[in-house]
Structure 1
Amino acid sequence: MASFVAKKLCPQLICLPQNYEKYTEKAKEIRAIFAQYDPTFESASIDEAYLNLTAYCTENELDPEEAVQRMRAEVLEKTKISVSAGIAANAKIAKIASNKNKPNGQFRVPNEREAIMKFMEELPVRKVNGVGRVFERELDAIGIKTCGDIYPQRAILTKLFGEKAFHFLMQCYLGLGRTKIQPVENYERKSVGTERTFHEIGNKEEFRAKLWSIAEELEKDLARTEFKGRTLVLKVKLATFEVLSRQCQPPRAVSTAKDLYAFSLPMLEKLEKEMPDLKMRLLGLRCTNLVSTKKVGIELFGFTSRPKPASEVADSPVEQEIETEEAFEKAAREELQEELDDLEKLSQEVSESTERQDEAAASPSQPVYWDCPICSRPQVAEDRAFNDHVDYCLSRQTIKEAVQGASDAVPAEAPAASKTRKRRTTESPDPRQKRLFFS
C-alpha cells in the first residue's frame, strides 16, 4: 500500500524511515541459506525466491514439507526473519500457495492432477499472478470469477482477448506453469534500466543533477550485468502523472555514466523546450538492444565464436512460458502503478479543492459550487470543468471506491481497452519437480 493512501486511511499513522542497506544485507543472509538447499535457486526480488528441492529431498530422504519446515526454521534461527512458503509442482502454483498461510507458514498443493485441478477450480482469477484489476473486471463481465469458470467459456476467449490470452487462461485452468528454476542472470535480458521517484521539481539544475545521478547508477547496473546498450530511453513522469518517454540511438553502444548523460541530455533539453513549465516527479534511463561485454571463448584453431543475435535464436517452450508469465506480471504491475498514480492525483485534487473552499470562506465574496453527483465533492460552477470532473469520476470508479472506502460499489463501466499482454503456450510440468516460492 502506498504511504499516502495509508495516511488517508489512518491519519495517526507513524511511518518509520526506510533502510534499504539493511534490507539488502538481510536478503544476502537468507539467500546464503537458500543456496545450501538449492545452489541454483532463483531470486525473483529482494524478498522472493524459487527453489527446486527435488535433489535435496532425495539425498536427505525427506518429504518436501519436512525440508521446507527445516529451511524456514533455519532462516528464522540465523536471521530472525520469518518466511512463508508454497510447495507445488510448478512455480505458478507455488507462488499462489505461498500466500495461503501467511505469516510464517507454509502450504502444499500435492503433485497430483486431481489435487491441482481442484485447487485451481476454486481459486479466484485475481489470485493468479499477472491477472490485474482490469483483466479481472473483463473476465468477471463474461462470468469468469474463478479459474474453474474458464473452461466453460473457452469458446469465446480467443475472440474476446486473443489467442495468447486463451492459452494463458487455459494454463490457469489446468494449473500449468514453468518448472525450470535457474538463477536470474541465466535469463536473456531485454533491457537494463533504473528510475527514481522524488518530490515534484521544476528547476533545470535539479533536472540535470538527477539525470547525472541516474546515469551513474545505470553505469553500475550495466557493469554488473556486463552489457552495453545501442538504444537509450529517457522516461519522465510529469507532475500531472503523465508519463513521457524519448529514445535515441547513439553512434556506438554506451555503458559509462559520461556517455549515458551526454546522449540523454539532448532529449531532456528538447522536453524543456516543448514544455517551458516542465515539472516532474520521476526520471529514468534504460538501455535496450543490449550488447554483451563478456569475453567470448577461443575455440578450435583460434577462431572466436560469435554469439547469435537473439532474433536468430528460436525461443524454446520454456522461454516462451517465462515470457508469457513475465508479460502478465509486468502488465499487472504497471496497472497497479497507474492506479496508485491516479489515487494520488485525485487525493491532491481533493486537497486543492479543500484549500480553495477555505480561501473562499475567508474572502467576502462567496463563489458558487456544484456538488458532483458521483463523489459528492463541491466543484466550481463552470459547465466545462464540471462535466470534465464528472467524466473523470465515471471513468475512475475503482479509484473513487478506494478514496471513499466504498469497496462494495460496482464500477459504472469496464475500461474501454485492456493492456496488450504477451501470452504464449507452455509445456506440461514435470510431476517429479517440486517448486517453492518464498515471500
Structure 2
Amino acid sequence: MAPSTGLNQAIKPDSTLFKSFVGVAAIKKGYEGVDRDKIARTVYETSKDSLYFNHQQKRDQALTEKCNALMEKKRLLQDSDTTPQLVHADKVIARLKDNRDLSQSIVHIDCDAFYASVEQHDRPDLKDVPFAVGDTVVAACNYIARKTGCRAGMVIAVAKKMCPSLTIVKPNHDRYREVMAQICKAMQKYDPGYEICGTDEAYLNITKYCTEYDIKPWDVVESLRKEIRHETGIAVAAGIAANIQLAKISSTFIKPDGQYQLPNEPDIIMAFIKDLPVRKVTGIGYTLDRQLASIGIVTCEGIFAQRQFLRNLFGDRLFEFLLEVYLGCGRTELQATLEQQKKSASIERTFKETSAPDIIERNLRTVCKEVEAKLKELNRAGQTLTVKVKMNDFESYSKQTKLPKAISGARDIFQHSLPFVKATLASKPHQPCRLLGVRLTQLVSKDYTLSAAFQRMADKSTHSKPDSLLGAKEKEPSSPAGKRKLGNLDSRELSPRKKKSSLATESSETNPLEPSRCPSEMVRCPICDQDQPLDNVSFNQHLDICLSLSEIQKYS
C-alpha cells in the first residue's frame, strides 16, 4: 500500500516521524533554544511527496514495529520470573567494576563545525553571517546558521528555507586535510599513538607524557589547544577522562572552545553519568535510542532499573555494552592513526542528483582520483574493492570484490568500479543517482607489491628452459622476434650485462634478488640483471623497456 503523504493522515506534530526530521539538532551543541518544531515542519513541507519522505516513512514504520515488538516481549518477561536474569546482570556489573581501568588520562579533541571553522578562518568576511559548507547537502554550518535551524545532513534547498540569507560555501577538502595534518602534528608531540576519529575528532592517551614530565593532564591539554590555535587558527574543545567514552561526553559540555576534566573517581563518574540521556553516548544512535525509550530507558540510570530484561531483549553483546554505559566504562587502548590508515582507503561523495551516464561516470572518476590520492599518501595498494551507489530514493546498493591483484591507480580503480555502477543504474532506469563511494581494503605496501612481482618473475625464470626468459638474447636472432624490439629500441642495447647460459643455473650467491647484493633501497631486475631504485615510478619505467606488454601480463 502506498504511504499517505497528507499531514493529518500520515504524521502529526507529536509523531516519531515528525520528530525524526529534527535530526542532529536534537542533540548537537548550538541548537539550544532553537524551535525544533519549526525545523521538523520545514523539512516535512519541503520533502512531502518526495522519494526521501517515502524512504523516511518506511524506516519509521519499520522501527515503530520493532519497538512495539520489544514492548510486547518485555510485557511477557514481566509476567515471568526474571530473578536469574537479575542475578546474572549483577554478576556482570560486578565483573565490569573490578576490571575497569581508571588509571588513564584519555583526551578527546573535537574540532566542532570543522569545515565551517576552517572557512571562517580563511575568509573573515564570513564571521558575522550565517553560512554552510556543502554542495547539495550541508556538511557543516557555523553557529549563527545553527540558531536558524540549519544542520549538517540537511539538503541545501531546505537549509535555504530555514535561513534565506544563508551563504553557501563550496567545500575544499584539500584545505581541510592540510589543517587536520597540522593538528595531528601538534598531537603527535603528546601521544605518537593518537587515534583519529572521523574528519574532525581525535583521541590521545597522555598518561605516559604526564608521568614522564610530571605535569597535570589539564595543563597538557591547555598547552595542546594553544598550539593548535597558534598553528591553525582553529579553536578546539577537549574532554579529559578515564576512557574514550567519558572523554567524548566531557568534550560536549564545553564546545566549541574550552576543556572539561572528569576526575577518575568511581563515585564522581557514576554521578556524572546518572542523568545523562542515553542518546549522548557514543554507540547509541537514533534507532537504538528509540528502542530503549520504548521500554522505558531514557537516561543512563534507567539502564540499571531495566537490567533484568536487557539480555533477552537485545542479546548478550548489546546487554553488556549497555551495562558498560551505565558504569561509565570505555576503551582505553587507542588504535594508532597510521595503523588505521593502513587498513583501508575510502571516499564517499554526494553529488547533484542525475541520471546522465556521462556525468555519473565523471563523478565516479573524481571519487577514484581521491582514493588514489589517499593510497599515494600511504604508499599502499588495495586488493578488496567495495563500491557503493545511493539513488535519489535514498536506497543504497553496494558490492565487494576481491581483485586478482592489488591496485592503487585511479584508472584501475575506475575500471573495476564502473561495471557495478552501470549494473545498478541499469536496474533502476532513469532513476537519478545522488552518492558514489569507493573503498579499498586489504592494503599492502606498493614497494612490497612490486618486489613481490619481481620475485614471481625470478621464480618463473628459474623454472623455465634456458633462454626462455631472455628469448633470442643469448642466441643469434633468426627472426624479427629474436631481437624483441620494443618500439624502436633493441632490448639488447639497453644496458650491458654478463652472458649467462640460464638464470636457472645460478647459485644462491648470484641470485639477482639476493639481499646481500641489493641494498634495501635497490632491487636487481631479473631481466637485465641491473640494480634499480626501489621506487614505483622508476621500476615501471624500467619495466616498460625491459619487457614487452605481453610479458608484463604474463608475469604479473
Structure 1, residues 94-145: CA drift from partner, whole Å, max 9, x if none? 0110011123211111011111121111211011012111111111111111
CA distance in 2 between counterparts of 1:290 and 1:267 reads 21
Cα RMSD between the aligned structures?
2.9
Pairing 1:233–2:233 present: no
Alignment partner, residue 12 of structure 2: none
- Following TM superposition, by how much is the alpha carbon of 1:164 offset from its aligned partner in structure 2, in angstroms? 0.9
- C-alpha contact 2:183 2:232 (8 A) present in aligned 1: yes
Structure showing greater radius of gyration is 2
Pairing 1:66–2:232 present: no
Structure 1, residues 275-302: CA drift from partner, whole Å, max 9, x if none? 33242111222234555556499xxxx9
CA distance in 2 between counterparts of 1:252 and 1:35 reads 34
Alignment partner, residue 317 of structure 2: 164
CA distance in 1 between counterparts of 2:231 and 2:411 reads 43
Alignment partner, residue 275 of structure 1: 428
Pairing 1:284–2:284 present: no
- C-alpha contact 1:247 1:267 (8 A) present in aligned 2: no
- Following TM superposition, by how much is the alpha carbon of 1:189 offset from its aligned partner in structure 2, in angstroms? 6.3
Alignment partner, residue 176 of structure 2: 23
CA 31–192 in structure 1, closer or farther in 2 if over 3 Å, else same? closer
CA 146–211 in structure 1, closer or farther in 2 if over 3 Å, else same? same
Moved more, 288-297 or 134-143: 288-297
CA 53–14 in structure 1, closer or farther in 2 if over 3 Å, else same? same
Pairing 1:99–2:252 present: yes
Alignment partner, residue 134 of structure 1: 287
SS of equivalent residue, structure 2 residue 390 = strand
Alignment partner, residue 362 of structure 1: none
CA distance in 2 between counterparts of 1:13 and 1:250 reads 45
2:192 pairs with one of 10, 34, 39: 39
- Following TM superposition, by how much is the alpha carbon of 1:273 offset from its aligned partner in structure 2, in angstroms? 3.3
Unmatched segments (≥5 aa) in structure 2: 1-150, 452-512, 516-556
1:255 pairs with one of 405, 408, 417: 408
CA distance in 1 between counterparts of 2:272 and 2:447 reads 44
Superposition pairs of residues 147-186 of structure 1, within 5 angstroms: 147-186=300-339
SS of equivalent residue, structure 2 residue 226 = helix
CA 253–41 in structure 1, closer or farther in 2 if over 3 Å, else same? closer
- Following TM superposition, by how much is the alpha carbon of 1:190 offset from its aligned partner in structure 2, in angstroms? 5.8
For 2:419, the aligned partner's letter is P
CA distance in 2 between counterparts of 1:70 and 1:249 reads 46
- Following TM superposition, by how much is the alpha carbon of 1:58 offset from its aligned partner in structure 2, in angstroms? 2.4
Unmatched segments (≥5 aa) in structure 1: 305-439
Pairing 1:216–2:369 present: yes
Query: What percentage of aligned pairs have identical amino acids?
Result: 41
Pairing 1:8–2:169 present: no
SS of equivalent residue, structure 1 residue 62 = coil
CA distance in 2 between counterparts of 1:230 and 1:6 reads 40
TM-score by length of 2: 0.50
1:199 pairs with one of 352, 360, 366: 352
CA 255–188 in structure 1, closer or farther in 2 if over 3 Å, else same? closer
CA 221–24 in structure 1, closer or farther in 2 if over 3 Å, else same? closer
CA 303–123 in structure 1, closer or farther in 2 if over 3 Å, else same? farther
- Following TM superposition, by how much is the alpha carbon of 1:3 offset from its aligned partner in structure 2, in angstroms? 5.3
For 2:187, the aligned partner's letter is F
CA distance in 1 between counterparts of 2:232 and 2:428 reads 50
- Following TM superposition, by how much is the alpha carbon of 1:86 offset from its aligned partner in structure 2, in angstroms? 0.5
Structure 1, residues 351-387: CA drift from partner, whole Å, max 9, x if none? xxxxxxxxxxxxxxxxxxxxxxxxxxxxxxxxxxxxx
Alignment partner, residue 67 of structure 2: none
TM-score by length of 1: 0.62
SS of equivalent residue, structure 2 residue 193 = coil
CA 289–47 in structure 1, closer or farther in 2 if over 3 Å, else same? closer
Structure 1, residues 148-198: CA drift from partner, whole Å, max 9, x if none? 111221111111111111011111011111111342222486643222211
CA distance in 1 between counterparts of 2:447 and 2:315 reads 39
For 1:266, the aligned partner's letter is P
CA distance in 1 between counterparts of 2:364 and 2:341 reads 27
CA 233–69 in structure 1, closer or farther in 2 if over 3 Å, else same? closer
Structure 1, residues 51-100: CA drift from partner, whole Å, max 9, x if none? 22222222333222222223223333443322211010111100110011
CA 76–260 in structure 1, closer or farther in 2 if over 3 Å, else same? closer
CA distance in 2 between counterparts of 1:193 and 1:124 reads 33
For 1:180, the aligned partner's letter is E
Report the number of matched residues: 302
Moved more, 158-167 or 72-81: 72-81
CA distance in 2 between counterparts of 1:273 and 1:80 reads 48
Pairing 1:83–2:236 present: yes
For 1:164, the aligned partner's letter is R
- Following TM superposition, by how much is the alpha carbon of 1:39 offset from its aligned partner in structure 2, in angstroms? 2.7
CA 72–266 in structure 1, closer or farther in 2 if over 3 Å, else same? closer
